[in-house]
Amino acid sequence: MMQAVLAVTAVILSLAAGGAIIRIARGPSLLDRVLASDVLLAILGAALCIDMAVNRHLNNLMLVVAISVIGFIGSVTVARFVSDRREHPSEP
């Protein structure tokens, strides 16, 4: 039973990662690409958490925390950059 759940989860995460990679490649705007990269980091974190649950260890916990922090800081940085750019569109 556990192997079936693991296989289904792997397929779902792989499809989601593929969709995020396509959005990163084709995204019409910078915000689409940033959002897709944030989703890709979340998928990677989910895969690491599933690995920890299946194998009953906490070896990847610090990596999951680091990935989460990097994704959060990156998203906030880009959001602030875009909001500053929209407030002052006439300035070079």
* Residue boundaries of the structural domains of the chain: 2-87
pLDDT of the residue at 87:
72
Q: 20 exposed, middle or buried (CB, 10 Å; 0-12, 13-18, 19+)?
A: buried
Report d(CA 25, CA 33) in Å as an integer. 8
pLDDT tens digit sequence for 14-30: 999 999 999 999 989 88
Predicted confidence band at 2 (pLDDT cuts at 50, 70, 90)?
Answer: confident
Ramachandran angles phi, psi of 56, nearest 5°: 55, 60
Select the more confidently predicted residue: 13 or 34.
13
Per the confidence metrics, is the pTM higher than 0.75? yes
| DSSP string across 41-62 | HHHHHHHHHHHHHHHT--TTHH
Ramachandran angles phi, psi of 20, nearest 5°: -65, -40
pLDDT tens digit sequence for 56-78: 999 999 999 999 999 999 989 98
